């Protein structure tokens, strides 16, 4: 069998760097769309293959969106394949492109897009093709649309923004005097304002005022730090991850504040895991929770009295908060013709048209037609934190960065140690520099030199 590879992508280098010298275990069941992509047999020419990584509530919502597309476009057969979240998904996607039989459409996190584009694994989207389907930048959240660009070219169409936000229990906050006449949280301004709000909640609960996950969840710790550090204007990486630009003073200020809340003032736990966080907030033992908006279905299911607001502007500068976005891409395929590209973009547009369903999981639709609709504006609590999507800051570009990456683990474990009182901020910063340097000095494993 002759296999052609996208220019600039070395099959041996990619597979070796990914630790997959053989892919037999991944191709079991040769009739499946997944096996077709990896083994090079390809999908049927009359169908579209769509890969995503959604399970749980998001998975249910995506199935509903895909089914609605099928009903409205009966001539287009869509094979939707759900793969494991994180690195396994991106590994399989790379293998499928390398095998020259990728899915027609796939989901990516925008934080992963620079690596995919630099590895020549995703197709740049032509402006005229996008315009023919009504996919132009003015119709999307600006921050998400721009994050879909690499080197001046559009590679991804954002489906959503999912920011790091502040949950609040309406019963606790009402007793604490933190709600206005409409039942919404009064503005919290600055670090002193947050300390005062947490203190007021603690008086009501008789324990802690708020909570953020500390143990065994480096991603959440990174998101919390990046929100604080980003509000100070700090950056961690530059030049596609090859240069570390961590600002020690800003990083120490952000870390010191996080540590003040847990270790010094004890307004938030310094030793707690995900299940403990859920238990505290669901049972009313804290008033505020800092987490991703994707936790909304958890607390709705528990019938918790709560709402959601953007994380406050704590340092007085330009407002930012951590976020990522799910986006739709066309993985690179030298055999894709104009008709197939058009049908693929029809699927992309169809999923966007149905993204009000997607918002049920807490995500803010990136497509303005949905985001600005009267129906979404009435959706609670999703409509309350739209400003967070507009102020989103994403993981820095780098082959080791992005959702579920080594970068998030390195950053998050150091932040966790500071919040737990195990490391002083200065020591954590020194540790971060040392560990990040090991990655910054290495070449990207995909899209490197041909061999």
Same structural domain for residues 206 and 78?
Answer: no
Counting the structural domains of the chain, the total is 2
d(CA 293, CA 277): 14
With 0-12 / 13-18 / 19 or more C-beta atoms within 10 angstroms meaning exposed / middle / buried, residue 171 is middle
d(CA 272, CA 375): 37
- Quick check: is 116 in a domain? yes
Output the pTM of the full model: 0.91
Same structural domain for residues 181 and 282?
Answer: yes
- Quick check: is 330 in a domain? yes
d(CA 446, CA 10): 7
Task: Give the range of the structural domain holding residue 349, as residue numbers without chain letter.
Answer: 48-161+325-378
Same structural domain for residues 343 and 316?
Answer: no
With residue 129 as reference, give the H or E element that holds it: helix 127-132
- Quick check: is 21 in a domain? no
What CATH number corresponds to the domain at position 173?
Answer: 3.40.190.10
Q: Can you name the residues that pair with 150 across neighbouring β-strands?
A: 153
Same structural domain for residues 154 and 183?
Answer: no
Same structural domain for residues 134 and 115?
Answer: yes
- Quick check: is 40 in a domain? no
- Residuewise pLDDT in 10s, the chain (451 residues): 232 334 444 454 444 333 333 444 444 344 455 555 555 555 554 599 999 999 999 999 999 999 999 999 999 999 999 999 998 999 999 999 999 999 999 999 999 999 999 999 999 999 999 999 999 999 999 999 999 999 999 999 999 999 999 999 999 999 999 999 999 999 999 999 999 999 999 999 999 999 999 999 999 999 999 999 999 999 999 999 999 999 999 999 999 999 999 999 999 999 999 999 999 999 999 999 999 999 999 999 999 999 999 999 999 999 999 999 999 999 999 999 999 999 999 999 999 999 999 999 999 999 999 999 999 999 999 999 999 999 999 999 999 999 999 999 999 999 999 999 999 999 999 999 999 999 999 998 754 333 3
Nearest to 155 by CA among 325, 323, 330, 324: 330
């Amino acid at each position: 069998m002759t296999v052609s590879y996208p220019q600039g992508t070395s099959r041996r280098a990619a597979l070796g760097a990914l630790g997959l010298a053989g892919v037999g275990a991944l191709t079991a069941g040769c009739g499946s769309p997944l096996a077709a992509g990896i083994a090079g047999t390809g999908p049927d020419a009359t169908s579209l293959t769509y890969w995503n990584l959604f399970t749980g509530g998001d998975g249910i919502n995506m199935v509903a969106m895909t089914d609605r597309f099928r009903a409205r476009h009966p001539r287009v057969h869509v094979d939707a394949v759900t793969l494991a979240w994180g690195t396994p998904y991106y590994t399989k996607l790379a293998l499928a492109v390398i095998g020259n039989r990728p899915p027609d459409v796939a989901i990516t996190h925008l934080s992963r897009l620079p690596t995919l584009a630099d590895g020549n694994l995703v197709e740049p989207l032509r402006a005229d093709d996008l315009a023919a389907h009504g996919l132009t930048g003015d119709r999307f959240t600006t921050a998400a649309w721009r994050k879909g660009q690499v080197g001046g070219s559009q590679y991804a169409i954002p489906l959503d923004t999912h920011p790091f936000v502040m949950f609040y229990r309406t019963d606790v906050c009402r007793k604490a005097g933190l709600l206005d006449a409409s039942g919404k949280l009064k503005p919290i301004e600055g670090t002193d304002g947050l300390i005062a709000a947490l203190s007021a909640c603690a008086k009501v609960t008789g324990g802690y005022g708020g909570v953020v996950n500390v143990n065994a969840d480096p991603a959440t710790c990174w998101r919390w730090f990046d929100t604080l550090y980003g509000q100070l204007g700090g950056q961690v990486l530059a030049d596609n991850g090859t240069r570390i630009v961590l600002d020690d003073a800003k990083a120490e200020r952000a870390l010191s504040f996080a540590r003040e809340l847990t270790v010094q003032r004890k307004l938030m736990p310094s030793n707690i895991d995900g299940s403990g966080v859920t238990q505290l907030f669901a049972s009313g033992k804290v008033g505020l929770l800092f987490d991703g908006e994707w936790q909304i279905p958890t607390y709705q299911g528990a019938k918790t009295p709560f709402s959601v607001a953007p994380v406050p502007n704590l340092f007085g500068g330009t407002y930012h908060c951590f976020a990522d976005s799910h986006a739709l891409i066309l993985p690179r395929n030298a055999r894709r013709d104009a008709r197939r590209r058009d049908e693929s973009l029809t699927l992309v547009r169809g999923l966007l048209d149905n993204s009000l369903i997607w918002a049920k999981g807490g995500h803010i639709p990136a497509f303005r037609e949905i985001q600005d609709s009267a129906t979404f504006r009435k959706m609670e609590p999703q409509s309350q934190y739209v400003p967070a999507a507009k102020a989103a800051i994403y993981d820095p570009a780098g082959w080791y960065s992005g959702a579920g990456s080594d970068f998030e683990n390195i950053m998050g474990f150091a932040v966790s140690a500071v919040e737990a009182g195990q490391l002083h901020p200065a020591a954590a910063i020194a540790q971060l520099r040392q560990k990040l340097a090991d990655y910054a000095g290495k070449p990207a494993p995909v899209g490197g030199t041909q061999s």
